[in-house]
Structure 1
Amino acid sequence: MKKILHGILLMMTFGIMGQTKNDSVSSFQKMKEAIKLELKEELKAELKKDFIKENKSLVDWSKFTLSGYGVVNYYHYGRYDTDLNIKDKFDAERLNLYLGYNFNDWISFKSEIEFEHGGTGSTIELDTQEEFGEYEQEIESGGEVKIEQIHINFAIRPYLNVRVGRMKIHFGLAQDLDRPISYFTTHRQEMENEILPLGWYENGVQIHGIFWKRLKYEVSITNGLDASGFSSRGWIKDGYQTRFEMANGNSLAFTGRLDYKFGKNKYTYVGMSAYLNDAAANRPKNDMSESAYVTILEGHITYDEDYLRFNSVILWGNLENSNIVSRKNSSLSNNLGVKRTPVGKNTLGFSFEGGYEILHFINTTAKQKIYPFIRYDYYDTMHEVEGNVIRKPRWERSALMGGINWFVHPQIVLKAHYQNRRLGSDNYDPVTSLYTGRKQEENTLSAGIGFSF
């Protein structure tokens, strides 16, 4: 500020002198401009000091949250009776990013964006399982960017919170144990992934909370499934409404979940879930007057304490009027992009996964971890049928897996496992067409890397 005062005095001096000397006018103007510039710089410096001192920011980054995870896998196929020409594959399976914002201490925003299979756009797929070797154009399963979640959460009380928007349906365990550091296999949990939409996100309202620090509940009212996507292989999986820009909401879905936490780790709990929805009302066209209620029940347990980790799920589902759904689906247009195969009335599934950390036997202070593990899945999407629908034993499947997880860092894991999947269908020699005396098998060796942050 001393420089400013000196400048003002100089300006006054030159002003007096300028009254008697005409040739000093230009010098006065130059000095005036120089003082104005210096004054501006001084004011900027003062403002900057005040800005830093008060620690103000145009964007309060402390209110934002960012997290995510990713998976990249390699698959080598051995004996694969259902597709003798199958090729080994690399798959940039998923990159999920979560961006959140805290408006205040009880209102927050959460979003999730998923980059799936390395890109965006439609793909062509050779379907040897249900489409009899036909090429089909896929919009959904390959190269995709999706907004999975976008909702506002109101944290009213520990026992009463409300989410509004598009959110995750926490049904089963795979929806909770969805980060690659939370499950042992390279790919998603097989039984749940073959029967249910994974990940499963719907639009609506979700009420959740916790009592006595251990009893957790969640109740969701959302848009439901579309029965035109049901199939032999996946049961209701492809009824997940992603084929159109907007989801039909003629029939709402009701989901309830209850968990009891009994350990120190957040992934140590036991619980159950239930789902109910009339999927006929959400078909693209009004081509089915009968209802098609989907009822799914499941029980689960997950344990992660000290060196032992395991989890297990048992699942049962029922589809009302599955024979009528099968008949209506068989006459759907090819342009709809659905399987149009017969649908089972009941589905049954069971899974178990367990591993034990062994590196501590060698080095008790090691920060890295090594888990040998085993996993078993059994599932039958045509466990029971009704009407004139013929049960296909091919869709009764069991898979035994064994492998290893190496946590090079608590948030980075290298994985490898071998899988033997057995189908309920008989195997025939591809050359002689004679029965080989055994069931069909699908064997896979896979490896991958997963990370979470």
Structure 2
Amino acid sequence: MLLAATALSTATPALADQTSLEAEVALLKAQIAAQKEQLAAQAARLEQVEARLQATATPTTPPAALAESTSKASGATASPTAVAANTVGVGKGSGGDTTIGGYGEITYNGYLKDSSRNQADLKRLVLFVGHRFSDKLSFNSEIEVEHAVASSGDQGEVAIEQAYLDYSFSQAANLKAGLFLMPFGFLNRNHEPPVFYGVERNEVETRIIPSTWREGGMGLYGSTPFGLSYDVGVTTGFDVAKFDDPGAPLAGSHQELQLAKASSLSFYGSLEYQGIPGLLIGGAVFTGNATHNNADFKADHSLPDFSGITSRVTLWDVHGRWQHRGLDLQALYARGTISRSAALGTVIENFNDTNGTELPVAPSAFYGWYVQGAYSFALGGTATLDPFVRYEKFDTQARLPLGLMSDLANRDRVLTTGLSFHPLREVVVKVDYQKFFENKDNDRINLGLGYMF
């Protein structure tokens, strides 16, 4: 018994030590497992953020070297996210941070047949301000000043181009609400000067697609692992009572969320495929009632009375791009229609006869297309030289009601060729020559300076 008691007393501390060590090992294993879970969660969040940035941000490399940045049809964020890719943090709040960025351009147009038309212009200065409240919720905004001075006696203006909240459920499903860009073509979502070719924005994506075109509303967008992205939503739409320019049918009638008539809402949708490296193929459609229950006349009886007329504006486009090494090929076709244009035109002509005015009649259909090719030559470091050529055709009065004849000034074929020099990826110096085949007096040489940060 004495020997047994002695052995037991000797074994008890050893058993206690072993039990303590086992408990410590179990605790360490639990801590390691918890850390692994935390690391895995952080890695997943980083992958989501990286995927969203890749899907939304406009690359800052020269255009010919870009992997097409429009994979995230939320183009909504086109300009803001193009800048966001290069933004600078300026402050942090609870659970988030604030960023700023911007872009700008200065241009010179030299007309070859009438030098009195020559002009230089600080065309635009844009500031981007964004804030990330959390990993999922963010805010984006874009504030633009055009033509240097904005006042009642000047042609410049200050505009809010975007202001929206964005909530990310996953890479496949994201929700945006506010004022955002429509996911059409290339230029409407990616219009920073270092990103597009040519001093001036192309004719088709300014006359047919009214870049920069934004609407207020809600949209759902996302992308799939096999390269397909989508963007669908409900927004404000056009107002045909504001039609004022036959050369750009939708430019004056898109409402920009400025006391926008919203008796009727519009719908849009876009699809793009980027499953093959360097290839982008996509298209979009937008449609909605544009008479808004005759809201303009009811608010101001001095305007034309469109009572009893329901007119729908529909715009669609298809576009494609192929980029391989320094080669960059691009093409786009866009077409729009305005229904009941004959009824609208009859009201306008009667109004003009009664009041001695010359309000234009809206077209039934308008269209435009272009093809473009470019090549980027590396000059060492980040510097590149990018020659390009673009041929485009547009007709903003392709079909008119009431037997009216179109104006030659509103259709043309344009050849543009030039160079873009990038001393840095975010800075560009441009020169090009534009030949107008129908309106020959518009032939010109353009110079431009652009930047983004």
Relative to the length of structure 1, the TM-score reads 0.72
CA contact (8 A) 1:323 1:388 kept: no
CA distance in 2, matches of 1:111, 1:177: 15
Which position in structure 2 is the counterpart of 1:54? Answer: none
Q: Which runs of 5+ in 2 are unaligned?
A: 1-90, 299-304
> Which of the residues 251, 255, 264 maps onto 1:251?
264
Is the aligned partner of 1:297 residue 2:309?
A: no
CA distance in 2, matches of 1:452, 1:330: 46
For structure 1, which segment, 60-69 or 207-216, has the greater mean C-alpha deviation from structure 2 after superposition? Answer: 60-69
Which position in structure 2 is the counterpart of 1:95? Answer: 125
How many Å apart are 1:380 and its aligned residue? 0.4
For structure 1, which segment, 318-327 or 198-207, has the greater mean C-alpha deviation from structure 2 after superposition? Answer: 318-327
Which one-letter code corresponds to 1:284 in the other structure?
A: D
Alignment of 1:262-281 (within 5 A): 262-264=275-277, 268-281=279-292
Is the aligned partner of 1:217 residue 2:230?
A: yes
Deviations 1:44-77 (A, max 9, x none): xxxxxxxxxxxxx985696112222111101111
Q: Cα distance 1:85–1:280, how it changes in 2: closer, same or farther (>3 A)?
A: farther
CA distance in 2, matches of 1:332, 1:118: 37
How many Å apart are 1:232 and its aligned residue? 2.1
How many Å apart are 1:339 and its aligned residue? 7.3
Which position in structure 1 is the counterpart of 2:422? Answer: 407
Which position in structure 1 is the counterpart of 2:46? Answer: none
> Which of the residues 390, 405, 413 maps onto 2:405?
390
How many Å apart are 1:309 and its aligned residue? 1.7
Is the aligned partner of 1:180 residue 2:210?
A: no
CA contact (8 A) 2:227 2:274 kept: yes
Q: Secondary structure at the match of 1:326?
A: helix
CA distance in 2, matches of 1:204, 1:249: 11
How many Å apart are 1:440 and its aligned residue? 4.5
How many Å apart are 1:245 and its aligned residue? 4.4
Q: Secondary structure at the match of 1:72?
A: strand
> Which of the residues 205, 208, 214 maps onto 1:192?
205
Is the aligned partner of 1:352 residue 2:380?
A: no
Q: Which runs of 5+ in 1 are unaligned?
A: 1-56, 125-141, 424-438
Is the aligned partner of 1:374 residue 2:389?
A: yes
How many Å apart are 1:246 and its aligned residue? 0.8
How many Å apart are 1:386 and its aligned residue? 2.5
CA distance in 2, matches of 1:85, 1:331: 40
CA distance in 2, matches of 1:236, 1:315: 13
Corresponding residue pairs, total: 350
Which one-letter code corresponds to 2:397 in the other structure?
A: M
> Which of the residues 226, 246, 255 maps onto 1:241?
255
Alignment of 1:326-345 (within 5 A): 326-330=345-349, 340-345=359-364
CA contact (8 A) 2:181 2:189 kept: no
CA distance in 1, matches of 2:341, 2:157: 31
Q: Secondary structure at the match of 2:130?
A: strand
Which position in structure 1 is the counterpart of 2:297? Answer: 285
CA distance in 2, matches of 1:69, 1:306: 26
Identical positions, percent: 24
Q: Which has the higher contact order (CA 8 A, sep 6+)?
A: 2
Q: Cα distance 1:448–1:61, how it changes in 2: closer, same or farther (>3 A)?
A: farther
Which position in structure 1 is the counterpart of 2:97? Answer: 63
Which one-letter code corresponds to 1:177 in the other structure?
A: N
CA distance in 1, matches of 2:103, 2:139: 19
CA distance in 1, matches of 2:321, 2:92: 44
Q: Cα distance 1:264–1:411, how it changes in 2: closer, same or farther (>3 A)?
A: farther
Which position in structure 1 is the counterpart of 2:38? Answer: none
How many Å apart are 1:304 and its aligned residue? 3.4
Is the aligned partner of 1:105 residue 2:128?
A: no
Deviations 1:8-30 (A, max 9, x none): xxxxxxxxxxxxxxxxxxxxxxx
CA distance in 2, matches of 1:70, 1:297: 29
Point out the structure with the larger strand share: 1
CA distance in 1, matches of 2:228, 2:309: 39
Q: Cα distance 1:210–1:373, how it changes in 2: closer, same or farther (>3 A)?
A: same
- Coordinate RMSD, CA, aligned: 2.4
Which position in structure 1 is the counterpart of 2:152? Answer: 122
Q: Cα distance 1:304–1:66, how it changes in 2: closer, same or farther (>3 A)?
A: farther
Which one-letter code corresponds to 1:76 in the other structure?
A: G
> Which of the residues 156, 162, 174 maps onto 1:149?
162
CA contact (8 A) 1:331 1:340 kept: no
CA contact (8 A) 2:363 2:396 kept: yes
> Which of the residues 399, 420, 438 maps onto 2:435?
420
CA contact (8 A) 1:326 1:340 kept: no
CA contact (8 A) 2:382 2:424 kept: yes
Is the aligned partner of 1:159 residue 2:166?
A: no
Is the aligned partner of 1:324 residue 2:343?
A: yes
Larger radius of gyration: 1
Is the aligned partner of 1:170 residue 2:183?
A: yes
Which position in structure 2 is the counterpart of 1:129? Answer: none
CA contact (8 A) 2:229 2:273 kept: yes
Q: Secondary structure at the match of 2:309?
A: coil
Q: Which runs of 4+ in 1 moved over 4 A?
A: 57-62, 330-333
